[in-house]
Amino acid sequence: MPVLLIARVAAPDPNLALILKVLPALVVILITAAICGRLAQMVMQPRVLGEMVAGVLLGPTFLGWLFPEAQAALFPREVRPVLYVLSTIGLTLYMFLVGAGLDHSARTPGEVRKASALAAAGIVPSLLLGFGAALLLYDMLSRPEVSPFQFALFVGGALSLTAFPMLARILYERGLENSPIGRLTLLAASIDDALAWCLLAVLSAMHLGSGPTGALPTIGLTAVFAVVMLKVVAPMLRPLGRTVARTGRLGATGMYVVILVPLTAGWLTDWIGVYSVFGGFFAGLAMPRDPAFRQALHGRMMEVVSTLLLPAFFTFSGLNTHLGGIAGGGMVLAFGLILLAGFSGKYFGCSLAMRGLGFGRRESYAVGALMNARGLMILIFINIGLAQGMITDALFAMLVLVAVITTAGALPLYKLALPERLENATKVAEPPELVRSNPS
């Protein structure tokens, strides 16, 4: 017996050794995210912006530069795969909640058409300007094995995103979700993001396949998966929605279902080759549309996912963000061009579209500001690109900065365009003809 005890002490459990490294890293991640999130709220910014900044601060740009030994000890090589697994699960569940939260209830006549026009105005200019800027910067920023077309389309797709969940939170906090601009903006943002994810799915399939022909099986399997989720799985889940609507709660059996469906869908899309977040998003779209179900689902899951798992994703992104790689005049100019293309395409495109739909000048620029926030969505987008080898570390760092800057500027630009004294008038559901007569 003493011999066995000595052997056990001499050869410690490797799993225990890993836990003793992972848990301190998670503690530091959560503390830093909580502090930065609170600081962001103190300066009238969404909490998620502070969490994004926290991830960058824990990476090589700040902590690794000031205290390289501490950063290396806190995030050793064996801890990073664990953070990757946690962040992947977190992203899959978060995109599941985003898909499940989309409101498909009946809308006023013509609203879908107007929202589609606003979505197109948000996507097309950003996509074209980003595509053109990327072609100019291809030799400087792209990997040689990625074609100019794929590289440019990826950058354009990333810049065409809108942070739909963040946008929804801002509108709900300000009581604008049922106003004309609130409904149009939410619907347009959901269209923007859905199209951007479809674009990324096609790019991933093309990149992972052997040329366009080799990508066809992946594209075909992705389409089959989407159809099965929406036409086969969705009807099977409707009884769950009716049960929750009747009882007012999501029980233990229901929780097993809503956890297993997105994780299984994420596993399948990972196997197909288009990343698990797509599976999570389509699993959310397949969930019951009952308002009571959506409320119960978000109440049970959102806080855990956003508090525990998303900070791990932000930190994993921060560990891959080397802002020192974009130092120098040429790199700074390249970053400025990408930022200008993304900002101007989304901001002015959406603002002009709103004017064309009959809204006032102030409401139009307010919507342009909100649609320009990219937040978490672009981080998910570019992390997939980096993991699949479609972009370089330098471009990744630039697009992280684009995410932070456009997200930070969204609310101040909104308030500048639509101060509170004018914002209250927009909460009344007026038809665009009445809004058009308002000179503000």
pLDDT digit string, tens, across residues 372-384: 888 777 888 888 8
| Backbone dihedral angles phi then psi of residue 219, each to the nearest 5 degrees | -65, -45
**Closest of 438, 429, 294, 292 to residue 355, by C-alpha:** 438
Reported pTM: 0.76
Confidence of residue 109 (pLDDT cuts 50, 70, 90): low
The pLDDT tens digits for 337-352 are 999 999 999 999 999 9
**Closest of 247, 258, 270 to residue 304, by C-alpha:** 258
Distance CA 368, CA 349 (A): 8
Answer yes or no: is 118 within a domain: yes
Lowest mean pLDDT among 14-18, 89-93, 436-440: 436-440
* Domain that residue 148 falls in: 13-436
**Closest of 423, 421, 376, 429 to residue 399, by C-alpha:** 376
pLDDT at position 122 over 50: yes
Q: How confident is the model at residue 207, as a pLDDT?
A: 73
Distance CA 193, CA 99 (A): 11
Confidence of residue 170 (pLDDT cuts 50, 70, 90): confident
The DSSP result for 96-145, as a single string, is: HHHHHH-------TTHHHHHHHHHHHHHHHHHHHHHHHHHHTHHHHS-TT
What percent of the chain is predicted at pLDDT more than 90? 20
Answer yes or no: is 236 within a domain: yes
Answer yes or no: is 364 within a domain: yes
- Summarize the confidence of residues 239-256 as an average pLDDT: 87
Q: How confident is the model at residue 34, as a pLDDT?
A: 92
The pLDDT tens digits for 14-23 are 888 888 888 9
- Summarize the confidence of residues 265-270 as an average pLDDT: 89
Q: How confident is the model at residue 8, as a pLDDT?
A: 47
pLDDT at position 189 over 70: yes
Residue-level length of the chain: 440
User: Residues 302, 304, 308, 313: is their CA dihedral positive or negative?
Assistant: negative
pLDDT at position 11 over 60: no
Confidence of residue 428 (pLDDT cuts 50, 70, 90): low
Distance CA 404, CA 100 (A): 26
User: Mapping DSSP to helix (H, G, I), strand (E, B) and coil, where does residue 274 land?
Assistant: coil
Answer yes or no: is 216 within a domain: yes
- Summarize the confidence of residues 279-283 as an average pLDDT: 87
Q: Which residue has the higher pLDDT, 63 or 324?
A: 63
Answer yes or no: is 8 within a domain: no
User: CATH number of the domain that 166 lies in?
Assistant: 1.20.1530.20
Distance CA 263, CA 2 (A): 45
Q: How confident is the model at residue 295, as a pLDDT?
A: 84
Q: How confident is the model at residue 102, as a pLDDT?
A: 67
Answer yes or no: is 47 within a domain: yes
**Closest of 220, 218, 164, 171 to residue 196, by C-alpha:** 164
**Closest of 151, 141, 188, 146 to residue 167, by C-alpha:** 188
Answer yes or no: is 408 within a domain: yes
User: Mapping DSSP to helix (H, G, I), strand (E, B) and coil, where does residue 191 land?
Assistant: helix
Contact 60, 322 (CB under 8 A): yes
Q: How confident is the model at residue 223, as a pLDDT?
A: 83
| CA dist list (Å): 378 to 208, 210, 368 | 21, 26, 17
C-alpha angle 105/111/114, rounded to 5°?
140
**Closest of 72, 46, 43, 79 to residue 58, by C-alpha:** 72
What does pLDDT average to over the chain? 82
Distance CA 247, CA 196 (A): 37
User: Mapping DSSP to helix (H, G, I), strand (E, B) and coil, where does residue 163 land?
Assistant: coil
Q: How confident is the model at residue 203, as a pLDDT?
A: 79
Answer yes or no: is 246 within a domain: yes
The DSSP result for 412-435, as a single string, is: HHHHHHS-HHHHHHHTS---HHHH
C-alpha angle 326/41/59, rounded to 5°?
30
Lowest mean pLDDT among 100-114, 122-136, 277-291, 348-362: 100-114
Indicate the number of domains in the chain: 1
pLDDT at position 434 over 60: no
| CA dist list (Å): 440 to 134, 413, 424 | 37, 16, 13
Q: How confident is the model at residue 173, as a pLDDT?
A: 66
Contact 211, 205 (CB under 8 A): no
